[in-house]
Structure 1
Amino acid sequence: MKAVVVDSYNSIDGTSIKEIDTPGVSKGCVRVKIGAAAVGFVDGLKVQGLYQTKDPLPFVPSTEFAGIVDAVADDVTAFKPDMPVIGMTRSGALAEYISVPSAALKHLPPQVPFEAGASFQANYLTGLYALDARASLRDGEILLVLGAAGGVGIAAVQPGKLMGARVIAAASTAEKRAFAVQFGAGQTIDYTRADWRDTLKELTGGHGPDVIFDPVGSEVALQAFRSIAWRGRHLVVGFASGTIPALAFNLPLLKGGALLGVDLAQIQKREPETHARLMAQLFDWLASGKLQPVVGKVVPFENFRDAFKTMQSRSALGKMIVKFG
């Protein structure tokens, strides 16, 4: 089968499609023929060897996928050949086939296309875990989403609205802000303007945001925290800007505010009951149509580098998807 293979930690230009063995189906596993795979910010870091943990070389990047069950082990009963599924794993999704434990898969509702399914789990679980389990976002509160048009940002805008929050989307271009409005933001802010905090103060009537969802980092994060409401919660999701800010400890004191970390990789292991509850909520929203995963740019498998480069340039709207034909 064909797969994107990372032989050395390098730029995406140094990575190519190669012919490798099709995976077998060991005990408890399911082999999936992949229809679409997602490329996120973390995937770009892993290819370059810049993520917090390194995948052993060689490896096939991408953690999220959607496709059709190709084969199942004899001891697997929950899945049958030809069933549409979505899955999430450590790596391996940028390939024509993948073999994973059955617990890594979920049934894909028939009305949801592969592209949407592949863009669903990681971002939306991150968004809902942050807003629900970490920030305890309440109906009527003000939610400020930084980087609101990116794959993770838009996955906080939508659940935020479903949870009854008033969502303010912060993004750097008019196109990105319009995109966020299209998917549920009530108001927007251009955080590249020097006076953006004045605009935020005006929009919130001087109250400030109760919850800040922050996958950006940099000076923008510091300025956002300076505007937070009394007893506000600032969710640290990532550092897409490439800069990790340092917050002076007197600011949480003066604001009565809390800085809360959000790490998707640890949720299932450390909080299995919370993970199960949130996944059930997400799939309920997905099946009912209340939540429609946002698909960004879709590129064919042979052009996989375009997905990485668009994502790394921070010009992406929604999640980047590689489609297999």
Structure 2
Amino acid sequence: MAKDRAVRGATLNDESRRFNLPQTEADGDWLDARDDLDGAAPKLRTSVTVETARTIISRNSSPDIGFDRSINPYRGCEHGCIYCFARPTHAYHDLSPGLDFESRLFAKPNAADLLRAELAKPGYVPRPIAFGTNTDPYQPIEQDWRITRACLAVLAECDHPLTITTKSDRVTRDIDLLAPMAAKGLASVCLSITSLEPRIAMTLEPRAPAPARRLAAVRKLSAAGIPVYVSIAPVIPGITDHELETIVAQAAAAGARSAFFIPVRLPHEVAPLFRAWLDTHFPDRAGKVMATIRDLRGGRDNDPGFHTRMQGQGPWAELLRTRFRIACRKAGFGDARMAVRSDLFRPPAGPQGELF
């Protein structure tokens, strides 16, 4: 494995599928200044493009996903997780799912205004809104843009249910909004922890907060009365699967209510990016890792089928499920789910209502 901390996740920036969308101007991200502190020029600058979105609530009808709507304040993600299944979406901007995905970001500063307008529409039916289903709502640029926080404030005002999935302890900065909502049964948070070994995390998720900080966030959220869960997603055979039991035990000790796992998925351009990453960081086991993944995925690099894409198939998948069940039983985990209520919703006040 590489000994130096990876600056970025992907080792490639190959041309993607082309959709011929117009280009927009970008401005620099604060992390570039951090790279300059040591006197060395940054290897790759991060840019943030303002995207003027027309709608902000995305809807899906997937039968194996536990929510039907979500909000993604950003496109692209600077965390740089090499396995991220959202990478192929950058092709819609005629950008590479490789390095472009983690360095050429898009922000939606009008998200909160759009959300308020959508919630105020006649006939709107509330159901939990999921954050972090595509790219991380608490990636580094949230510190400056605060788009996620602005959306949370609108939902808090309306008593609208929400769930959050993130790899970042930055979520604890919004405890002042989340704790009162959680007290009403309106909010829950899931921390994604894929590895507890710093060296693996450094290459696997190069700009995400360290695993210890994520566990600390679990403790802090739990102490604030916010239902918190841990996602071990993805589990990568030959790279992180040996940590499954340890992560479950550590999650329980930190106050998580439950945990779940998903075997690694490699849709579209993610597969060649992941192969190149293996060749760079784990050349001694790259072939074995990919062979095991294909065993999990019915002989392919990726299985897009509903339900099986989340669970895997074959002996390897069954072994992971058995180990996970035993680990959860030892940790005292039950079948707690990220359930939130939807019956308290009230539409946001309109311009006239705000006058009184």
> Do the structures match in fold with TM over 0.5?
no
The structure that is strand-richer by fraction is: 1
Q: State the TM-score, normalizing by the size of structure 2.
A: 0.26
Q: State the TM-score, normalizing by the size of structure 1.
A: 0.28
The structure that is helix-richer by fraction is: 2
Q: Tell me: higher relative CO, structure 1 or 2? Use CA pairs within 8 A at least 6 residues apart.
A: 2
